[in-house]
Amino acid sequence: MRRKLFLLSLLLLPAALLINLGIMVFIDDEAIRALVGQEMLWSGNYIAPVMHGDAYLNKPPLWNWILALSFTLHGEVNEWAARLPTVLGLLGFAATTYYFSRKHFSRYLAAIHALTVITCGRMLFWDSMLALIDVTFSWVVYAQIMLLYEYGRRGEWWKAFGWAYGLTAVGFMLKGLPAIVFQGLSVFAILGWTRAWKQFFRPAHLLTGLACVGALAIYYWQYSEYVDLEKVGRRLFVESGKRTAVAHGVGESVQHFLAFPFEMSYHFLPWTLFLVYLLQPGSWARLKRNDFAAFMLVAFLANIPIYWFSPNVYPRYLLMLFPLLFGGLLVLHEQHEAERSRSYRALRYVLLGLMTLCAIIIPFAPLFPETEIVRYAWGKSILLGAAAGAVVWSAWRNDCNLLILFVVFLLLLRIGFNFFVLPPRAASDERGLLVRNTAYDVMEGHDQDSVAIFGHTLIEPATGYYLTKARGRVVRRQFEGFDQETFYIVSPLEYPTLNVQQTDSLYLRHLSRAKPDGDVYYPFGTLPSPPQERVEWNKPLRDGMGTGF
């Protein structure tokens, strides 16, 4: 029975992860990755990332290489092609979780552990649908930690450090300095766990660490031909430090510190409900019966403070850590289940109650007005409702398969989400649609004209992406050599005195949201009196303003 349910969950995964994957307008971070990858393909330069022809310094280029490959294989640049690598990275993440967990857990528990990676709320209903670095980066970091443990506990330190530092280099090329932070904290975790502190100073650690630095140096040696590395390094440190307490006030830091456990528990529901087991007396003694589960909790606790003390943190930054927590929670659940403890019985009824409530609601999804645009809504809702009802009925009757049935139910919920939430959300995303439509409207009729972004005009990345897509080639930034024939996109906020002979206007989504008295539009047109000198910006640069390098 369990084998069939596990196979059913695998059959549901493509529908859960792929239906309507490309329907939503890009958020800004997705647009950055897609635009940089697109410009790499056009320029043929894969060493120095650029955006609008201007140096892009915030992230190393590996994720852009991956997106560029996806665009090449798809034959076009679009939301689907940009998001598919995230789905593949998530499946790789789950498979890696199963591979390592199977060495220490039963086949059933290892499978559940792998599926928690996909079905935790933050992943299932948000990050698995976005063309962002974080899911793949989390996969790499999780593999780092697992390899440190697997080889470190056996004393095979050359393999432990060699594999982990190799993946550190990969992680750095994805996201920069956070890869080194995770590696450093995880090394301390494994050395403390195995009581092998002297290995920190042994050749296995020192030489593999140097090899990691050397591998990265090869890339940056090539990169130095394009951009001053001092500027690159400064930007990487700014990117890594802007979320920390150093960049925020004491009050905001204290507020974040107090709210963090509750906020993160919310984002990673429903599996964080199992924290009820960890909060009970004797939970650590129970965990230590399984060395792997106990180490995962130690690794989680070793890495979590860096974000607990950082006020401006998104849950996606922690995706690699929660499988470490979930592994320990599942072991505790299995022990409580065998004992039929009060905590287990209470949690079981909570899960069954939630499943039952959702199963009752699913068949009536077409009654919500927003779902009027969904084709064959009643057929889909009745079919999904019947499937969900069958799963719930089986869960009430079959206690020993509760977890895998719960996973199947969550995947059915995601399929329902794809059918009944994503299309209405996409259709009602007025700001996102206005970003895309005004970008297309601005470019219409200007295919053969010279078009540029004036100086350090702040361009929100989604706007920049759709401008570029509509134009079919780079919409460059221009800092000097202005003329009267080029059509410029100009920010009246950065350049209020610049005279623009406006022919159209461009909508700015986030600037409009921040402005209580109305929407923000940028003029698009020619300059009757273009500046003769290079334009400089003496204030701090913000994301979306270009670098000028």
Q: Where are the domains of the chain?
A: 342-428, 430-526
Mean pLDDT of 308-330: 91
For position 514, what pLDDT does the model report? 65
Instruction: Report the C-alpha gap between 90 and 92 in whole angstroms.
Output: 5
The residues pairing with 515 across neighbouring beta strands, listed in sequence order, are none
Using DSSP, state whether 55 is helix, strand or coil: strand
**pTM confidence score:** 0.94
| Cis peptide leading into residue 305 (ω within 30°) | no
- What count of other Cβ atoms lies within 10 Å of the Cβ of residue 238? 14
Q: What is the pLDDT of residues 16-28, one digit of tens each?
A: 999 999 999 999 9
- Per residue in 135-166, pLDDT (tens digit) is 999 999 999 999 999 999 999 999 999 999 99
Q: What is the mean pLDDT of the segment spanning 298-303?
A: 95
Average pLDDT, rounded, for the chain: 92
pLDDT digits (tens, 9 = 90+) for 485-543: 999 999 988 898 899 988 888 888 887 776 666 788 899 999 999 998 898 888 887 87
Give the contacts of 545 (CB within 8 A, at least 6 positions apart): 456, 457, 458, 459, 494, 537
Closest C-alpha to 324, from 353, 290, 294: 294
Percent of residues, the chain, with pLDDT higher than 90: 77
Do 409 and 355 contact (CB within 8 A), yes or no? yes
- Tell me the residue length of the chain: 549
Integer CA distances (angstroms), 236 to 56, 179, 300, in order = 11, 12, 25
Model confidence pLDDT, tens digit, residues 332-345 = 999 999 999 999 99
Q: d(Cα 98, Cα 113) in Å, to the nearest integer?
A: 7
Residue 77 main-chain phi, psi, to 5 deg: -105, 115
> Averaged over 455-465, what is the pLDDT?
92
Please state the separation of Cα 161 from the chain's center in Å: 26
Record the tokens describing residue 204, joined without a space. 């296995």
Cα angle 54, 60, 66 (rounded to 5 degrees) comes to 100
Long-range contacts of 144-148 (CB under 8 A, 24+ apart): 144/168, 144/171, 144/182, 144/183, 144/186, 145/182, 145/186, 145/189, 145/299, 145/320, 145/324, 146/96, 146/100, 148/186, 148/187, 148/189, 148/190
Reduced to 3 states, what is the DSSP secondary structure of residue 400? helix
Mean pLDDT, residues 185-195: 95
3-state secondary structure of 513: helix
pLDDT tier at 245, thresholds 50, 70, 90: very low
Quick check: 242 pLDDT over 60? no
Q: Is the pLDDT score of 246 beyond 50?
A: no
Residue 320 and residue 142 in contact, taking contact as beta carbons nearer than 8 Å: yes
Report CA-CA distances (Å) from 465 to 30, 32, 315.
9, 7, 25
pLDDT category of residue 298 using cuts at 50, 70 and 90: very high
**Lowest-confidence segment of 221-235, 279-293, 464-478 by average pLDDT:** 221-235
**pLDDT at 145 (0 to 100):** 97
- 3-class SS of residue 469: helix
pLDDT of 467 above 60: yes
For the range 502-509, what are the long-range contacts, defined as Cβ-Cβ under 8 Å and sequence gap of 24 or more? Answer: 504/441, 504/442, 505/438, 505/442, 506/438, 506/439, 506/442, 506/463, 506/467, 507/431, 507/434, 507/435, 507/438, 507/463, 508/435, 508/460, 508/463, 509/431, 509/432, 509/434, 509/435, 509/460, 509/462, 509/463
The region, left, alpha or beta by phi > 0 then psi within -120 to 50, assigned to residue 66 is alpha
The alpha carbon torsion through 40, 46, 52, 53 (nearest 10 deg) reads -120
Q: Is the pLDDT of residue 310 over 90?
A: no
- According to the model, what pLDDT value does residue 48 have? 93
Question: Which residues in 244-276 are b (16+ Cβ under 10 Å) and which e?
Answer: bbeebeeeebeebeeebeeebeebbebbbbbbb
| 32 Cα distance to chain centroid | 13
